[in-house]
Amino acid sequence: MPILKLRKSNPRKEIEFELRYLKSLSTKQRFQMMIRKTKEIRNLLKAHGYRKTAQVIKRV
């Protein structure tokens, strides 16, 4: 995976770099990356106690 090195923070160049990288991936690779990151975030939230169960609201 390429690495972007900038002397100063440049959001425009960072976004262009990210989009170029994502365009170079196949659809399958993008979905695999998305699923892997989702699992990673879910595990981090669970480890830090932020994953709460959904509440069921009974409507009358």
Count, residues in the chain: 60
Whether residue 18 lies inside any domain: the answer is: yes
Tally of domains within the chain: 1
pLDDT computed for residue 14 by the predictor: 92
Distance CA 43, CA 35 (A): 12
Whether residue 30 lies inside any domain: the answer is: yes
Answer whether residue 58 shows pLDDT above 80.
Answer: no
Q: Which domain holds residue 35?
A: 11-47
Whether residue 16 lies inside any domain: the answer is: yes
Sequence letter at residue 57: I
Binned at pLDDT 50, 70 and 90, residue 17 comes out as very high
Condensed to tens digits (0 to 9), the pLDDT of residues 39-55 reads: 999 898 888 877 666 66
Whether residue 4 lies inside any domain: the answer is: no
pLDDT computed for residue 45 by the predictor: 83
